[in-house]
Amino acid sequence: MSQANIGVYGLGTMGSALALNLAEQGFDVAVTNREVEWIADFIAEAGDLAGRLHPHEALGDFVKALRTPRVILFMIPSGAPMDAMIEVVAPLLEPGDTIIDGGNANFNDTRRRAAALAGDDLHFVGMGVSGGEKGARHGPSIMVGGTAHSWAQLEPMLRAIAADHEGDPCVDHLGPDGAGHFVKTVHNGIEYADMQMIAEVYALMRFGKGMPALDIAEQFTEWDRGALKSYLVEITGKLLSYEESGAPFVDQIRDAAGQKGTGRWTVVEAIRMGQSASTIEAAVAARSWSSEKALRQRLAEVYGNAREAVDLDVAELEQALLAGRILAYAQGFRILRQAADEFDWPLDFARIAEIWRAGCIIRSALLDDIAEAFRKGGAEGQMIEEKAIAEMLSTAVPGLRKSVCEAVAGGHAVPALSGALSFFDTMRQGSGTANIIQAQRDFFGQHGFELLGQDGKHHGPWWE
């Protein structure tokens, strides 16, 4: 057997899909799985691609089947299983070999693992893969963090399997160690915010305007032809069109959202770096609150759950969603900018926007504008300062403002849309209210403050 180009360990949904994608692009792929009985089934279902897939039950044989320097992609649960796997596989490897973690791992773990393995000249890549099963099978967006050596090994394979945006493969080397996983985490944070704002706009149409679900489905489909064009708007239009016994299928789904952790990690890191992201925080909070269904039902008895009609047309709601989306992306890029400074990562914001344009869950027409705005440069990652984005946002904000006002007045919860608007209103005020905070801090704790136009630290007259 010819030596395989890459090994894929982990034949779950994403691992299988990536292995098939690699095989389809002409690469020889050694495959294995912890539960060895899955391996034969996987090969049996691979059809014509089976010839390029080389199954091994023993880890040692799997490693020996790889061309050196080796590349092994692990698609296994993040956290402790990855550490356990490294302990077992690292002794079988040689200097120059690369281990890839293709799961949604915490970038702090990725940095730790990369540093630990570097001592033995082993390379550890944190690779964010977005697009779900279909993406992994036919073209995901791939965010790579690791050494230049690993990137040289991986580039031809990843460019071949990645999603294609008008001839540009949606993959790149974004920086060392945890950079790829960090960018993927922020991608997911933006994903959370976008999903939540879509749900809020849906609720305003359904319960504020009394639109039937099928009409809302059509509205989302219509929006998907314009400035809101995106995968998430597209699938929302589709999923709302399903009916069962003449009623919307979505009404049967329990309104309690799950979350695996990436949205929360984005918020934790953002706050740790002094970069609070109100849209993402709101989306994480809304999912957590949603899971308290029994409490919500009891509180509905106590306070009532009435929601009043809203005076909004769909064009205003479209603008609200567009403004919210721009602000969510802007907050995501601000987190990336902060991380680039803190970890000394050479993050290229335009390139990140470019590789999100196809394959990934947050792919949207807006990313073309964002990529172009960052390419023109000037605002160092402050997206809403870029001229073209600022023009778009200025046009959309009135719709967001009216939607939030109507929602709040009518008792509709819009945590992400209102979080976006408050962020915008705070950031556009050259003079804010932090003088009051500073005065309070000084009043009770003599913490001192700066005075406008004067150097040094001062105290208020309350201490004289």
How many residues at the interface with ligand 6PG, by CB under 6 A?
13
Binding string to ligand 6PG for residues 241 to 260, with x set by CB under 6 A, is what?
Answer: -----------------xxx
**What are the structure tokens assigned to 42, written together?**
């996987």
Binding string to ligand 6PG for residues 195 to 234, with x set by CB under 6 A, is what?
Answer: ----------------------------------------
Which of 24, 191, 244, 354 does the annotation list as catalytic? 191
Q: How far is the CB of 49 from ligand 6PG (least distance, A)?
A: 22
Q: How far is the CB of 178 from ligand 6PG (least distance, A)?
A: 16
State which amino acid sits at residue 408: V
What helix, strand, coil percent values describe the chain, rounded to 5? 60, 10, 30
360 binds ligand 6PG (CB under 6 A): yes
64 binds ligand 6PG (CB under 6 A): no
What residue has token string 């900018």? Answer: 337
List of E strands, 85-179:
98-101, 123-130, 141-145, 164-165, 168-169, 171-175
Task: Looking at residues 122 to 141 of the shown chain, list those that interact with ligand 6PG (rule: CB under 6 A).
Answer: 130-132
Q: How far is the CB of 129 from ligand 6PG (least distance, A)?
A: 7
Q: How far is the CB of 235 from ligand 6PG (least distance, A)?
A: 12
421 binds ligand 6PG (CB under 6 A): no
Determine phi and psi for 444, rounding to 5 degrees: -90, -20
Q: Provide the 3-class DSSP secondary structure of residue 260.
A: coil
183 binds ligand 6PG (CB under 6 A): no
CA distance 183 to 332: 9
**What are the structure tokens assigned to 17, written together?**
């899909």
Q: Is 184 a catalytic residue?
A: yes
Residue least distant from ligand 6PG (Cβ): 130
CA distance 443 to 437: 10
Nearer to ligand 6PG, 66 or 336 (CB): 336
CB 82 within 8 A of CB 105: yes
CA distance 247 to 255: 16
Nearer to ligand 6PG, 65 or 284 (CB): 284
* Cα three-residue angle 135-366-276, rounded to 5 degrees: 90
CB 414 within 8 A of CB 403: yes
236 binds ligand 6PG (CB under 6 A): no
98 binds ligand 6PG (CB under 6 A): no
Question: What amino acid positions are annotated as catalytic residues?
Answer: 184, 191
For ligand 6PG, the binding residues (CB under 6 A) are: 104, 130-132, 188, 191, 258-260, 262-263, 360-361
